[in-house]
């Protein structure tokens, strides 16, 4: 039940297989998840999105686990079921414990609450917060 064909490795074009291979190698796994198999309907988009994920989620000024948890926070806020499952799995693989996940959810819940209090009460931004 997807809106496009799920393209398995065996039936993928060489252009797609190159990306699939790089995903598996980079992540140290031997399977491809459905997100990429769906994007493979447009091989250029598959390559572009994967290149982005690879670049943005690599170690940098922020820790990879922190990045993965931020991904979960955004996905839960947007109500994206697929992304919440896939990035929670990703965060756990990088070391997120149950206690960390529950605390992450507490922050996400609170932020969503106070975002609406602020958007509803419409107080001006304090000068002290403006750089």
The interface with its own copies within residues 93-122 (CB under 8 A) comprises 97-122
Min separation Cβ 40 and its own copies, Å: 10
Question: Which residues in 15-34 contact its own copies (CB under 8 A)?
Answer: 31, 33-34
4 sits near its own copies (criterion: CB under 8 A):
yes
Buried b (16+ CB within 10 A) or exposed e, 57-92: beeeeeeebebbbebbbebbeeeeeebbebbbebbb
**What would the two tokens of residue 33 be?**
């998840």
Query: Residue 9 or residue 35: which is nearer to its own copies going by CB?
Result: 35
CB of residue 76 to its own copies, shortest distance in Å: 3
Q: Please give, one letter per residue, the 3-state secondary structure of 63-114.
A: CHHHHHHHHHHHHHHHCCHHHHHHHHHHHHHCCCCHHHHHHHHHHHHHHHHH
We find the least distance from the C-beta atom of residue 95 to its own copies, in angstroms, to be: 11
Least distance between its own copies and beta carbon 18 (Å): 18
- The contact mask relative to its own copies for 43-82 (x = CB under 8 A, - = no) is -xx--xx--xx-xxx--xxx---xx-xxxxxxxxxxxxxx
DSSP 8-state assignment for residue 126: P
């Amino acid at each position: 039940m997807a809106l496009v064909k799920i393209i398995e490795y065996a039936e993928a074009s060489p252009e797609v297989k190159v990306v699939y291979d790089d995903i598996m190698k980079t992540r140290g796994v031997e399977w491809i998840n459905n997100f990429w198999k769906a994007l493979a309907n447009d091989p250029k988009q598959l390559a572009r999105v994967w290149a982005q994920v690879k670049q943005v989620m690599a170690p940098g000024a922020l820790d990879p686990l922190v990045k993965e948890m931020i991904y979960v926070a955004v996905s839960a806020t947007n109500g994206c079921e697929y992304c919440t499952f896939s990035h929670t799995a990703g965060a756990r693989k990088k070391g997120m414990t149950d206690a960390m996940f529950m605390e992450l959810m507490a922050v996400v819940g609170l932020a969503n609450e106070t975002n609406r209090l602020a958007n509803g009460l419409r107080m001006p931004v304090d000068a002290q917060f403006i750089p």
